[in-house]
Amino acid sequence: MISAQTNTSRRNVLNYLLGTGTVATLAAILYPIFRFMVPPRVVESSASSVVAGKVAEIKPNTGKIFKFGSKPGILLQTPAGEYRAFSAICTHLDCTVQYREEEKLIWCACHNGRYDLTGKNISGPPPRPLEEFKVNVRGDEIIVLRG
């Protein structure tokens, strides 16, 4: 015959196993949901300048996309020969902009936003101008600086 104490200890073991199994299952379900809801911290590059290209790469009335930290930038040489650099992220919905040589403007393909060669929004839905960067030429390198 099985004693009452043995039944109680078996019941305690079963309750412990069921309880920890339930807690583990809930943790396995809720942890990925929590990780999805709380975005990871993205450390922005502390670089204040970057080599965007070589002088020979950029001809008058052309543009080039370059990496500025973790975000794209656009470097262009105006038809007059002046270098200009901007953030290549459209101020409307963060699409990447590009330079249109035939129209001599910066264009966003997402919603047909247009910016002039000073980065000012001239048509479409973009609410504000592009962020402008400073450009310096050192030797045969084009250096783009924040700010």
* pLDDT score for 85: 92
* φ, ψ at 107 (rounded to 5°): -130, 140
pLDDT digits over 100-118, tens only?
999 889 999 888 999 998 8
Distance CA 135, CA 113 (A): 24
Residue bearing the bigger pLDDT, 1 or 37: 37
pLDDT digits over 120-132, tens only?
998 888 899 999 9
- Identify whether the C-beta of residue 73 lies closer than 8 Å to the C-beta of residue 58: no
pLDDT digits over 30-60, tens only?
999 998 888 877 665 556 888 888 888 888 8
Distance CA 108, CA 47 (A): 26
